[in-house]
Amino acid sequence: MILTVTLNAAIDKRYVVEGFRTGEVNRVKECTYVPGGKGLNVSKPASIYGAEVVATGFAGGHAGAYIEDALKPFGIRSAFYHVDAESRSCINIWDEVNQVQTEFLEPGFTLTEEDFAGFEAKFRQLVQEAKVVAMSGSVPKGLDGTAYQRLVKIVKDAGIPVILDTSGKLLEMGIETIPTMIKPNIDEIRMLTGKRCDDISEIIEAARAIHERGVKIVAVSLGADGSLAVGDDGIFRARVPKIDAVNTVGCGDSMIAGFALGLSKGLPLEETLRLASAISAAAAMREETGFFVMEDMEKLLPQIEITRL
């Protein structure tokens, strides 16, 4: 079982408009509502691939109930810790005319230490069933970087691989507890190492420095240039074929799903990177965030070029 953690889950609302105008009434051409938050965008691709997935985190009110219900068609089991306050919504406005995306991200509820202690007790039980734990995204108000430190420690004490995918101070503090894997972007790896990372050799040097601190896998997204991964097996770079990208939002989360799948199956790093790259690229070909079609992924898989550096 893959256990995903989304501490700041949301309803993701996507509005499609023709010519977004500030200060005026905008008619929505079409809209979609999906359970969101980075952890849930890991849950969905992992489940589509065929893994048993349990999603945990915090959920509250009618919005929280909707998030849980909306995960059922994916075959994802919800194991959220419930609070009285309402879960947040995040709005993505896509302007078809100007090809511009505008986002409104609600802050969500505020948690207390009592809330988090209750969640920790539930989390300890869930971890006992897991083969891999992937925790992703921001944290609600009332929590700080120590939240991920505490959760990573619980997973490590259970002897289970843990992926931490967050940013800023949360990543800086979370990495102190040495998760199994992180996936920083270029800015984040600069922050963590103080290195300039102006070319591929400097990026590799920075990723190796983090790996030498105990993080077993350091995966770095290179955008259109693919990605690279540094681990005990060596250093590998992945290049993906040219695709017709429709929606790249959440593709990094789909890549995390691929790494979680690889870790759960005991695949070597090279094959894990290939799988993660294929799932991420397949997700970019579909409009819905955190979604891919197996047929797309299976076509892309043999086209992923992996080079040992």
Rounded distance between C-alpha atoms, residue 67 and residue 297, angstroms: 26
pTM reported for the whole predicted model? 0.93
Rounded distance between C-alpha atoms, residue 60 and residue 83, angstroms: 5
Output the pLDDT for position 249.
Answer: 78
Find, among 106, 92, 89, 191, the residue nearest to 141 by Cα: 106
Which amino acid is residue 162, in one-letter code? V
Rounded distance between C-alpha atoms, residue 200 and residue 216, angstroms: 20
**Residue matched to tokens 């870790």:** 263
pLDDT in tens, 212-226: 999 999 999 887 788
DSSP state string for 123-190: HHHHHTT-SEEEEES---BT--HHHHHHHHHHHHHTT--EEEE--HHHHHHHGGG--SEE---HHHHH
- What integer is the mean pLDDT of 84-102? 93
Under the banding of pLDDT at 50, 70 and 90, the label for residue 261 is: very high
Output the pLDDT for position 225.
Answer: 83
Active site residue 253: yes
Under the banding of pLDDT at 50, 70 and 90, the label for residue 101 is: confident
Catalytic residue among 12, 115, 165, 253: 253
